[in-house]
A and B are shown apart, each in its own frame.
Chain A
Amino acid sequence: MKVLLDDARLAPVKAIGEDGTTFDVKALTADETQLDVNGVSRAGNIVHIKAIDPAGEYLGVKAIARDGRLYDVKGVKMAEGARERTVSGVAIAAHVKALPPGVASESAIWHVKAIHPEGRTLDIKALDASGAIHDIKAIMLAGNQHIVDVKAFIDGTAAPVKVLFSGDTYAPVKAIGPNGTIYDVKALTPEGQQLDVKGVSRVGNLTDIKAIDADGELYGVKAISRTGLLYDVKGVQMLETTPEAIVNGVDVAAHIKALPQASAARN
């Protein structure tokens, strides 16, 4: 299922067959009325998907687990432009995913930190070839509480942070400058150590991102608001094929995003 690319104010949500055939997606009422399901607005990486009732009211679309957990169904974009990619010959504006409800609501800059096992936080920074240190922050945008961009602020630009390819066990996490310059991403200890930040495992669409200490211990990486809200920092893949994207000439394995923490299944 995808949000299709369309000039209309309301973007159609359709299922797409392998041969490019599209299938309408509708909400069905008890009296067999079919309500349109559309992408109705965009906020950063998120396209809000709603069913539209006969009065024109927007109704939320949710995924519901057998144990009662409820996720929001949203269009998800990794590309900045209107067109995300093509699927079976059909131009799409966004993928459709079910995401845990976020907790943030306002535009804000969040810190990105590694969490030491003793409960301390370590700054996560981008380092250039001269050793200069640059901030890495999560950029929370009002209207998008689900998938938050993580950027390195280098020489006045907000550079993307991505998981790259390598033959190593763990995948490197780097910032990519506008001209393709690659910047190391490290967790900095008070003692002056620089810990690698890597993608250590992948399950489904997500890669776990960890800082790795000298003993090989893995530290979680989080985005933390000034008010104490906390999101997980993860690698996110939308495609089954590689590379996930080419950013400023660099092949990318996964995007780095901050995501709401998900609850495990309940009994």
Chain B
Amino acid sequence: MISTLRLLCLTLAVLLPADSVVAQVDAIWHIKVVTRDGQFLDVKALDASGGIHDVKAIQDATTTSFV
């Protein structure tokens, strides 16, 4: 079920063990929450079974103002 997520069409995407994501985009940015004391917290997607999946921002090759 989760493997059917369309990765490349989502600018902020849940990254799964897919093969072609990195090859087709220029950069993958981390998504973090910034706490009051300056710590970074991971942001993750959780499935119904408790599985944890990365959430990343995908930057197109030459787009810098809208990721």
Contact = CB atoms under 8 A, between A and B. Distances in A.
State whether these chains interact. Answer: yes
Interface of A: 1, 15, 17-19, 21, 23-29, 34-35, 37, 51, 53, 57, 59-66, 71, 73, 95-100, 203-206, 232, 234, 236, 240, 259-265
A96 B46 CA distance: 17
B67 to A, nearest CB: 4
Contacts of A18: 4-6
A61 B32 contact: yes
A63 B29 contact: yes
B66 A204 contact: yes
Interface in B22-62: 27, 29-36, 40-47, 52-53, 55, 57, 59-62
Given A27-B43, A61-B43, 5 more contacts: A1-B45, A37-B43, A95-B11, A205-B63, A232-B65
A259 B63 CA distance: 13
A259 B6 CA distance: 27
Given A59-B35, A97-B11, A99-B65, A23 B53 contact: yes
Given A25-B44, A71-B57, A95-B11, A264 B64 contact: yes
B18 interface: no
Nearest to B10: A1
17 contacts: A15-B45, A15-B55, A23-B47, A23-B53, A26-B46, A35-B41, A59-B34, A62-B33, A63-B32, A65-B59, A98-B29, A98-B57, A100-B64, A205-B66, A206-B63, A264-B64, A265-B64
Nearest to A257: B66
A175 B40 CA distance: 44
B62 A17 contact: no
Contacts of A203: 60-63
A110 B36 CA distance: 34
